[in-house]
Amino acid sequence: MASPHQKQTMKDRILQTADRLFYLKGIRAIGVDTISAEIGISKRTLYNHFPSKDALIAAYLERRFVQPKPSDKSPVEQILGTFDALERRFGAKDFRGCPFVNAVAELGGEDKSVKKVAIAFKESRRLWFRDRLLELGVADPEGLATQLQLLVDGSIAQDLVRDDPAMARAAKQAARVLLENAGVKVSSPDGAKA
Amino acid sequence: MASPHQKQTMKDRILQTADRLFYLKGIRAIGVDTISAEIGISKRTLYNHFPSKDALIAAYLERRFVQPKPSDKSPVEQILGTFDALERRFGAKDFRGCPFVNAVAELGGEDKSVKKVAIAFKESRRLWFRDRLLELGVADPEGLATQLQLLVDGSIAQDLVRDDPAMARAAKQAARVLLENAGVKVSSPDGAKA
DNA sequence: TTTTAGTTACACAGACCTGTTTACCTTGGC
DNA sequence: GCCAAGGTAAACAGGTCTGTGTAACTAAAA
């Protein structure tokens, strides 16, 4: 059925464009007309691939739910590297906060499926921290993972408002303190490695 | 149903209702018809008091821009008390995140005036922390204030998604560590850490 | 009383939204 | 050649939104 040799299917093109517009401008702000016009296809074609805008929104969020790629670095480097990656993304012109938090803020508590996937995403990120903290053998990996995730989400919210990548550095500095306090040995706090 | 003692002006009633609906359901999700119908006034009356919905949105955000009331407690108690207050608000049914962050997420980077007031609000909160840290004589009050604000915004974002007041306790615990690391003497945790 | 300011009810304009319908292309496989 | 799949364009239905226009109604001040 599927055509594996095609570079990009129509569904992919629709999803990719919807992703960009939903994320940059807001889900409610973008209509299906805008998406189809941007791709240069008819609205009918879009509806042939997605039964409704809600289905497109769901696919958009699913597409955003990606796992961090495996790394062979040390757990501490991976944890602190998270904030370096954040700083890089904050500097990009097309960064506009966490798509899951934004979707919940925009669509409200009404839409339960959106909230569900947002919760799942946040929890998966917290577990990623926890797994690395387990490897480090800290006393309370669950609690510390939550605290690190707070720093991540806090810096994202702050950058969304202020457009200031330094928020990621502040978060990294706080993370270092929390790690050291938990008995983890952290390399010198110079920021050259960003 | 008009109140017996009507000390409240029409403008106040409009603002109050707009505030509740904008905050709970989202700014884009609420139309002026809904607001006027909820109050029981005509749409014309609403437009007699606010020239446009944008003006109403601006007034809504201005109204939300309140300063914390002065306290005679110690700086440390004030700082940590922030997170207790957060936990209380997280528990309330009508809490739905930070209205400024939500507005920026919803209205996008397009609306510059919204972003401007959001930046001003976040900065005022950061300065509130800084002033108390100055009183405590910590080495880097600016940086530490930013880090505490990250914990505040992180816990708000996490609670918006997860509806979990424990996020405020996790933030408080992290704040304690950051304060102690800065040489501030912090009393022992009142509640057992989860 | 007359005036005046504020309100109501309601229709309306013009725009945009989601989603459907109709009819007419293209194109590749047989 | 033939056919089916899937594309296009455009109108359309039915709804929402912001904002205006108009005529009638109150209530209090002058």
Total length of chain A: 194
The model's pLDDT over A52-66, given as tens digits with 9 standing for 90+, comes to 999 999 999 999 999
Burial class (CB in 10 A: 0-12, 13-18, 19+), A161: buried
Strand nucleotide closest to residue B54 (CA to C1'): D18
Q: Compute the distance between CA of residue B112 and CA of residue A102 in angstroms, rounded to an integer.
A: 18
**Integer distance in angstroms from CA A12 to C1' C30?**
29
Residue A1 placed within a domain = no
Q: Which residues on B lie below 8 Å from A119 (Cβ)?
A: 161-162
Token code pair at residue A7: 């570079």
pLDDT in tens, B89-139: 999 999 999 999 999 999 977 789 999 999 999 999 999 999 999 999 999
Q: B156: which chain A residues are within 8 Å (Cβ-Cβ)?
A: 157
Whether B31 and B80 share a structural domain? no
A147 and B171 within 8 Å at the Cβ level: the answer is: yes
Chain A neighbors of B174, CB-CB under 8 A: 147, 150-151, 174, 178
Decide if A118 is inside a domain: yes
Q: Are residues B79 and B129 in the same domain?
A: yes
Sign of CA dihedral B159, B162, B165, B171: negative
* Judgement on whether residues B172 and B124 belong to the same structural domain of the protein: yes
Same domain, B49 and B121: no
List the domain range (segments joined by +) for residue B97. 67-181
Between the CA of B20 and the C1' of C6, what is the distance in angstroms?
Answer: 25
Structure tokens at A26: 């807001």
In a domain? residue B104: yes
pLDDT over 80 (residue B75) = yes
A40 backbone dihedrals φ, ψ, rounded to 5°:
90, 30
Residue B194 and residue B186: Cα distance in Å, rounded? 18
Lookup result for tokens 């200031």: A164
CATH code of B52's domain: 1.10.10.60
pLDDT score for B3:
37
> Looking at A24, A40, A63, which one is the last position of a domain?
A63
- Examine the domain organization and report whether A53 and A71 are in the same domain: no
Residues in chain B: 194
Q: With an 8 Å Cβ cutoff, is A113 touching chain B?
A: no
- pLDDT (tens digit, 9 = 90+) per residue, B16-58? 999 999 999 999 999 999 999 999 999 999 999 999 999 999 9
Spacing of B33 CA from D29 C1' in Å: 32
Q: Are residues A92 and A39 in the same domain?
A: no
- Tell whether the model's pLDDT for residue A70 goes beyond 80: yes
* Domains: count for chain B: 2
Give the confidence band of B193 by pLDDT, cuts at 50, 70, 90.
very low
CATH code, domain with A108: 1.10.357.10
Q: Give the three-class secondary structure for A178.
A: helix
**B189 phi, psi to nearest 5 deg:** -55, 125
Q: 3-class DSSP state for residue B89?
A: helix
Note whether A42 and A91 are same-domain residues: no
Whether residue A190 lies inside any domain: the answer is no
pLDDT over threshold 60, residue B190: no
For the cut 90, the answer to whether the pLDDT of residue B194 exceeds it is: no
pLDDT at B174 over 80: yes
